[in-house]
Chain A
Amino acid sequence: MNTVQLAQRLATRLNVRDTTLLEAEPALDVLAAINGGIQEYFAHAPSLYKRTTLSHALRAPETLSVTFTSKYANTVEDDTFATAMMGCTLRFDNGMADTVITGTNSVLDDWLHDDLTQPATVFYDVVPIQDVIEQILEPVRVHDATRANPTRLHRDERLRGGRARWRESGLEAFVTAEAGRPEAYYLEPVGGSQGGEPEFLLRVAPRPLVDYTIKFEAELGPRAVTFAELSIATTVGVPGNRIESILLPLCEAHLTASRFWRDPRAAGDVMGKAENLKGNRLRTMTGDIAPARNQMGTPAGF
């Protein structure tokens, strides 16, 4: 079922003149119901349906010249940095403390020197984690440019303080070098509550000195259907055999809040059906689409 079909099915619940030619306002209610239903479906369905493998390149360092607009400012000349450098560590040749690139013309820390222009090195040591990523699943691993086995990174939040990496005693000395092949990662929040994008930076340590690929599995939030997709059909991101039986009732329950809802007497039944689906059907969906058989006592070859 595509988005136009789903919208039309939902529109039959509304008090409108023509369900195939919804005006913009009821269409917006249908859109909210579709997205609400899809979000609930994935919130209750087994998480494997949200998983995918993500890949990101950690490039070798680049050198460039940075000119600050003034002392005690964190702004630099326009377009000094590329968009791909957002969140990367910036190291200055003059020994100033490392900082982080926050925009094409800004860094995190104010400049504390009188000489405003300075050569610097950009270390590509971050992966931007957009809000569509709900959860990162280990193993997080890096490959270099060969077929050599990947390095599995361990998470070490102590690195966020910047000092833990210098510990070299005992079993806690996970990260011993400042730059080299990445061995660990940690997450830096970027103020999602303030509308910041990306929401997190996954930063690796040591900082890469050559090109690497970092891979990991993640659970993704469902893609939102757009207003345009109610006119230009796209495929609904829910398996076809679960749309009429599960998704449609969930969407209808959301639609009962619309001022165009046609039959108030039916609203209770619609919401009750949706609750029942969330409590039973969705919970009993399989979380493993390839369950292994019990091989105990099975002869070889069978």
Chain B
Amino acid sequence: MLTVPQIYAAVLEVFGAEPDKATAAVKARALTDINAALQLMAEAGEDFYGREEITVTLATGNGIYVLPKTVQSVLDPVYRAADGVPLRKLASRGQAQVYQQLFAGGTYGGISSGRPLAYFVESLRDTDNVTGAEDNVKVRLHVLPPPGASHTGNLVLNVISEAGTLTEDDLEDDTKKVPVPHKYAESILLPLVRWNATTSHFFVAKDMLDRYREDYRQAITLLGMADPARTEGRLAVSEPAQQRERRAA
């Protein structure tokens, strides 16, 4: 597994710079290119690169829970830890607003608590953190109906969190591994980082541009194929021969 300094060195190679002689501007640009590539990978394969589980503890009568700010997306399934029964996703704020009448068969009036059956994820501007260090976003999970006294416990959420962001210190930390799963650092991350670096005015290895472009295209293709959970229309990484045939076709 590549370390962060090794990736950093690869960027400096594109820039024609030595690690110990890189200026602050070069270092900052390299860091930007690496983080941009990590963000692209995190978004590309939701079921593979970024999926993780978090739990939300339900409280009697409470239908709204604020999720950690690092959560970017909530994926299916959202389910009760106790029995594994999934909650249904509501597609709009309107559906959440009229849940009692539309889905529970109730008439006009307040919503009754009971067994949670549906959820709605709402992203709001966090007015307490507009200019602060944290993101000014507040992600709220609406649970409908709000849990009754006998329906508390934990909800398990599959989420995508923000991509891991490296710092300048990480660039020189030999113990720091790149946060990419299944050794896709060389085949995917590195070509993405190099391609990002070609847009910099520090880019000097002009004769390598075509090679970097080709590596980038292959990396993007592999990014779509690499998720082992994706089988329809795509090939798993364990099928390199078929991948080559498809690419050739």
Contacts and interface: CB of A to CB of B under 8 A. Distances in A.
Interface of A: 18, 21-25, 27-28, 226-228, 230-232
A22 B117 CA distance: 12
A18 B102 contact: no
B120 to A, nearest CB: 9
Nearest to B87: A231
Contact of A24 (B77, B85, B89, B105): B89
Nearest to B107: A195
Given A21-B76, A227-B117, A27 B85 contact: no
Given A18-B76, A21-B76, A231 B85 contact: yes
A232 B80 CA distance: 12
Interface of B: 76-77, 85-91, 95, 102-105, 115, 117-118
Contacts of A226: 105
Contacts of A227: 103-105, 117
A4 to B, nearest CB: 9
B115 A22 contact: no
Given A227-B117, A228-B117, A231-B117, A24 B95 contact: yes
B11 to A, nearest CB: 38
Nearest to B80: A231
A27 B90 CA distance: 10
Nearest to B77: A21
Contact of A27 (B76, B77, B88): B88
A95 B56 CA distance: 66
B86 A28 contact: no
Nearest to A224: B105
A201 to B, nearest CB: 23
B88 A24 contact: yes
B90 A23 contact: yes
Nearest to A230: B88
Rank and list the top 5 A-B pairs by shortest CB-CB distance, nearest first.
A24-B88, A23-B89, A227-B103, A21-B76, A24-B90
A24 B118 contact: yes
11 contacts: A18-B76, A21-B76, A21-B89, A23-B88, A24-B88, A24-B103, A24-B118, A25-B95, A227-B105, A230-B88, A232-B115
Nearest to B89: A23
B86 A21 contact: yes
Contact of B115 (A23, A25, A228): A228
Contacts of B104: 227-228
